[in-house]
Chain A
Amino acid sequence: MAIAEQQTQGQASGDQSWHGIVLQTLKRNEISLIPYVPDRVLTPLIKNLHADPFFTTFATAREEEAVGIVSGAWMGGRRGAVLMQTSGFATLANVLASLAVPYQIPLIMFVSERGTLGEFNYGQSLVCRTMRPVLDSLALEHHTITRLDELEFIADRSIKQAVTTQAPVALILNPLLTGGKVFDK
């Protein structure tokens, strides 16, 4: 948690926080459309995306709506990525199986992982267990990112792979990376 706090404080000076690295990696890969359903852990990333005019950042009512938006944008020649929480990913099986995968759309998803490493809400811990089986059932590429020193490599390479292979990818931001959300917060 101390590391996470340090990372959050680091946003003003440098961009070596997890969210600073994510933002820069998105920008370097020309991903400018960022619809999201918010999550506490994602808040500094969302705030900085809103503040940066390079990005078009906005909330959607549901995660599948955001998937539809970035899919349309991709076909129109603009790259996007969707930000969500674990419970939001759990609403996506239909759109993944009927839009992103069969139409070969490089859907880039960042999932803030709740439900593990100190989860205090039983429902969150259960819904988290559905995420990887759904990803695996569709043979979707996914990585769980736990280390700051691996974040840029995994995110940058995964985005490039998604685009070149025209396949979705889920980048799961683990509490070891972000600090997660704990009971006393």
Chain B
Amino acid sequence: MNTGNTKVMNRFDVTSRLIAKLKHEEAVIGGIGNTNFDLWAAGHRPQNFYMLGSMGLAFPIALGVALAQPDRRVFALEGDGSLLMQLGALSTIATLKPKNLIMIVMDNGIYQITGAQPTPAASVADIVAIAAGSGLANSAWAADEEDFERLVDAAMSAAEPSLIAVRIDDKPGVGTTRRDPVQIRERFMHGLGVREPL
């Protein structure tokens, strides 16, 4: 990986920094496992959606939300292992160019939750180079926490989809999402203004 200058950060810390910046009911899709555990731990919001399976689909789900609500910023948090399952989605997003979609990749090079086995990409591939090669020109590594926040700010007003990759440590998620898929989906739809509660 060409990430020599990037600091190793912490998923929960980075996620918390992101959530603190959201002032306009932005949607956030949390990929499976630690990614959505830390989203949950950062403080539940009605505009958060937590995945309980379907590894690799955080970006496609976020793309769907972004296409349905073009005036709302939509964030997707995904692990590097999950993203490797669905690299084709990067090209789909690059083709459709939803400017309101912001992808964040938490890259620790391992499948932390299953026992910290290295991913096949760990020592050979560069997520940002893959994204750029897939047509997502607005892709960058966050050098440190401050740079991450700067990149998020820039993405908020970008004219094309953004991808921010973050090198993270091998720590597990801080919380555990309540695994109630119907309630997760229903409350997300309330949060997006699609439905009113009964």
Of B51, B87, B192, which contacts A77 at CB under 8 A?
B192
| CB-CB nearest in chain A for B68 | A76
A71 within 8 A of B: yes
Of A65, A69, A98, A103, which contacts B67 at CB under 8 A?
A69
Please tell me if the beta carbons of B61 and A68 are within 8 angstroms of each other in the complex: yes
Q: Which of A43-51, A53-61, A117-125, A134-142 contacts B (4 or more CB under 8 A)?
A: A53-61
- Bound form: Cα–Cα A104–B184 in Å: 11
Please tell me if the beta carbons of A76 and B92 are within 8 angstroms of each other in the complex: no
Please tell me if the beta carbons of A75 and B189 are within 8 angstroms of each other in the complex: yes
Please tell me if the beta carbons of B61 and A98 are within 8 angstroms of each other in the complex: no
- Bound form: Cα–Cα A60–B96 in Å: 11
Please tell me if the beta carbons of B64 and A70 are within 8 angstroms of each other in the complex: yes
| CB-CB nearest in chain A for B27 | A76
Please tell me if the beta carbons of B67 and A56 are within 8 angstroms of each other in the complex: yes
Please tell me if the beta carbons of B64 and A102 are within 8 angstroms of each other in the complex: no
Please tell me if the beta carbons of A73 and B185 are within 8 angstroms of each other in the complex: no
- Bound form: Cα–Cα A99–B54 in Å: 6
A80 within 8 A of B: yes
Instruction: Note all chain A residues with C-beta closer than 8 A to B57.
Output: 64-65, 67-68, 95, 99
| CB-CB nearest in chain A for B69 | A76
- State how many angstroms separate the Cβ of A60 from the closest Cβ of chain B: 5
A62 within 8 A of B: yes
Asked, given contacts A64-B54, A94-B54, A102-B182, whether A72 binds B64 with beta carbons under 8 Å apart, the answer is: yes
- Bound form: Cα–Cα A30–B114 in Å: 42
Instruction: Note all chain A residues with C-beta closer than 8 A to B54.
Output: 64, 68, 94-95, 98-99
- Bound form: Cα–Cα A77–B86 in Å: 24
Instruction: Note all chain A residues with C-beta closer than 8 A to B128.
Output: none
- State how many angstroms separate the Cβ of B35 from the closest Cβ of chain A: 15
Of B88, B193, B194, which contacts A65 at CB under 8 A?
B88
- Which residues B27-66 have CB closer than 8 A to chain A? 27, 29, 49, 51-57, 59-66
Of A60, A67, A77, A94, which contacts B92 at CB under 8 A?
A60
Please tell me if the beta carbons of A72 and B68 are within 8 angstroms of each other in the complex: yes
Give the one of A65, A95, A105 with max B CB within 10 A.
A65
- State how many angstroms separate the Cβ of B61 from the closest Cβ of chain A: 4
A78 within 8 A of B: yes
Of B69, B92, B185, B192, which contacts A104 at CB under 8 A?
B185
- State how many angstroms separate the Cβ of B99 from the closest Cβ of chain A: 15
- Bound form: Cα–Cα A60–B88 in Å: 8
A182 within 8 A of B: no
B95 within 8 A of A: yes
Please tell me if the beta carbons of A72 and B65 are within 8 angstroms of each other in the complex: yes
B89 within 8 A of A: yes
B118 within 8 A of A: no
Interface string of B172-198 (1 = CB under 8 A from A): 000000000110110011001110000
Please tell me if the beta carbons of B182 and A76 are within 8 angstroms of each other in the complex: no
Please tell me if the beta carbons of B182 and A61 are within 8 angstroms of each other in the complex: no
- 7 A-B residue contacts at CB 8 Å? A58-B92, A61-B86, A62-B88, A67-B60, A75-B61, A80-B64, A94-B54
